[in-house]
Structure 1
Amino acid sequence: MYSSSQICGVNPIAALPFTAQGEPDYASVDRLLGHLADTGIQGLTLFGIASEFPKLEDSERLRLADQFISTLSGSGIFRALSVTDHSTEVAVKRARDYQKRGADALMLLPPFFLQPDNAAISHHIFSVLEAVEIPVMVQYAPGETGLSITPEKLSEVARRYPHAVFKIECNPPVDYTREFLQRAPKACVLNGYAGLYMPEMLSAGGKGVMPGCSFSEIYVQIYRLWQAGEHDQARALHARLLPWIRRWMTHCEYIIQVEKTILHKRGIIATDYCRHPGWTLTAEDHQSIDTFISTFSL
């Protein structure tokens, strides 16, 4: 069983391939998972925002969860499933079910629909953490959810639950992370948000990054350089990547579609279909993506 201290490195959010008719493409899922397992990542998470989780039926979600766990079995990377339910009772049931199915870790998106108060949010987070033994990555994404949690409040979670991990993706996240780690110095922090602040977050005490999955090799290279003490080289490579991800992260649906299109153009998935409502790329976007793939030799 993984411990929270082992949750580190490059842990992308898996995209979910669909057919041209908008149905789950389970064959492409297998190819994608096999590809990602060979990139050097430390972990992989399914049902994050980049997985288009709000657009899935429950039956699809369960089949994909089982495929994810079984396909990556023996890969050496930790397999995390995200719990996104807004009902505390349902979230607890799903967390237990995912643990039973074989997940190595969970990610937890706190409820934000209809703006629950801080007590209700805390109760939700604590209930899920108390329901399982595996690490739980508590996700803080105020830009996407409209939910704000203070570093002080988040540090209470860290003190009470040693198996909690924290995915911090406010924009910018660095000062927030520093304050949080001052209050909870033993906490494990990962950063999402496409890795826009990856070097700064590693410098601030972060343990890894949770970007999209279509060019994981670049993040792996940055992380390896950083771990080897080659910080200037890591920053230089990140600086090359930054203009691209900064543009694509101007809207979540934009980068979700871009990531799918990159995977399709690389021959990893059969189509770049995203379920509606989504984002329509322009001819300029397609040209830019082609240049990106060529620039980084993907």
Structure 2
Amino acid sequence: MTLEIIDTAVLVRGISPVLEVPFRPDGAVDYDGFDRVVRYVLGAGVTSVMFPGFASEFHKLAEDERAALTEILLGHTRSRPDVAAVIAVQDHATRLAVHRAEAAVAAGADLINLLPPHFLSPSRRALVQHIEAVLAAVDPVPVVLQYAPTETGTSLDAEVLGTIQARHPNLRLVKVESSPPGPLIAELAARTPPLPAVEGYAGVQLPDAVRRGAVGSQPGCSMTELYVEIWRLLSSDEPGDWDQGYDLHRRLLPYISYWMLDTERIIAAEKLISARRGLFASAYCREPAHLLDTEEIAMIDRFLTEFADYLPPIGLS
């Protein structure tokens, strides 16, 4: 059983995209479009995907929609030992989070991504109790703990996370989305035993995160091929590859740093990128949402022109 846990957690290393959810112009979920998203991302050189996250607009999905979308994803991953489905749990109530995590594992999730509760500022003690309840409920299934202080206001540190890991070894990864993420990533990597971290936040600080010990990144999924190439270069030992990866990231940075000024903006930008590439028909985001203006749309078209060699049209049926 231990070997199975290690192998599953290792699959999350490298680029592990968060899947977006396409909607039709009337706001209904485009399930066929989501199936194309799953097939596209799994065919782009990754070994894991995460769903649903902020990039999935999880907070705008009904329970039946979320269940149907999760089943589409697991239908692609259940029988494949080479890819892992990381299913997210964001429920504020501990009872509901435990139930959702257990149900996801029963349905075929390879890992659980846990976002700690944040409404009404729960105490650190309450946060730890919530996290440990979910970890215990799904043990020995690996868990990725998502630390997103900007979006949630939650405050955790390496000592607390290490203490949790000591009691629950199935805490296998931390998704660090603090600004900057590097210091916490380095603290976690320096612990005994190390607690590996993946970087989020659209990869804005990816080179620094890699230098400090990050084992992967979880960006959105509209430009998966570009992130895969940057990761390949930054993690390579070949002479000159790091410099090439840093330069490619430097070209990407003006775009993602602007889009990440707020979460709704990058959701809208990535959806338009996917629609422009032909992955699905409509870039609609459920309201409340960010409405891209003329200059922001022009920026996306410049981005697609600049990175056309990495982001060709997607010819999925």
On whether the aligned pair clears a TM of 0.5, the verdict is yes
Identity %: 38
Task: Report the residue type matching 2:176 in the other structure.
Answer: I
CA offset at residue 184 of structure 1? Answer: 4.6
**Is the CA contact 1:5–1:188 (under 8 Å) kept in the aligned structure 2?**
no
Q: Which moved more, 1:96-105 or 1:221-230?
A: 221-230
2:215 equivalent in structure 1? 207
**Is the CA contact 2:44–2:224 (under 8 Å) kept in the aligned structure 1?**
yes
Task: Report the residue type matching 2:53 in the other structure.
Answer: G
Superposition TM-score, scaled by structure 1 size = 0.97
> Superposition RMSD on alpha carbons, in Å?
1.3
Which of 1 and 2 has higher RCO (CA within 8 Å, sep 6+)?
1
Closer, same or farther: CA 184–173 of 1 in aligned 2, 3 Å: farther
Find 1:47's aligned residue among 40, 47, 52.
Answer: 52
CA offset at residue 181 of structure 1? Answer: 2.5
CA offset at residue 122 of structure 1? Answer: 0.2
1:105 equivalent in structure 2? 111
CA offset at residue 38 of structure 1? Answer: 1.2
1:25 equivalent in structure 2? 30
Find 2:273's aligned residue among 256, 262, 274.
Answer: 262
CA distance in 2, matches of 1:184, 1:245: 34
1:295 equivalent in structure 2? 306
Find 1:167's aligned residue among 175, 179, 184.
Answer: 175
Superposition TM-score, scaled by structure 2 size = 0.91
Q: Which moved more, 1:49-58 or 1:181-190?
A: 181-190
CA offset at residue 294 of structure 1? Answer: 1.1
CA deviation map 1:201-223 (0-9, x unaligned): 11111100000100011110011
1:144 equivalent in structure 2? 151
1:245 equivalent in structure 2? 256
1:232 equivalent in structure 2? 243
Task: Report the residue type matching 1:137 in the other structure.
Answer: V
Closer, same or farther: CA 142–169 of 1 in aligned 2, 3 Å: same
State the 4+ residue runs in structure 1 displaced beyond 3 angstroms.
72-75
CA distance in 2, matches of 1:201, 1:150: 17
Task: Report the residue type matching 2:45 in the other structure.
Answer: G
CA distance in 2, matches of 1:168, 1:184: 19
Task: Report the residue type matching 1:139 in the other structure.
Answer: Q
SS in 1 for 2:144: strand
CA offset at residue 198 of structure 1? Answer: 1.0
CA offset at residue 185 of structure 1? Answer: 4.5
Is 1:12 the counterpart of 2:17? The answer is yes
Is 1:221 the counterpart of 2:229? The answer is yes
CA distance in 2, matches of 1:179, 1:228: 23
Residue-pair matches, total = 298
**Is the CA contact 1:33–1:72 (under 8 Å) kept in the aligned structure 2?**
no
CA distance in 2, matches of 1:272, 1:101: 30
CA deviation map 1:15-64 (0-9, x unaligned): 01111111110000111111111110121001111111111111111111
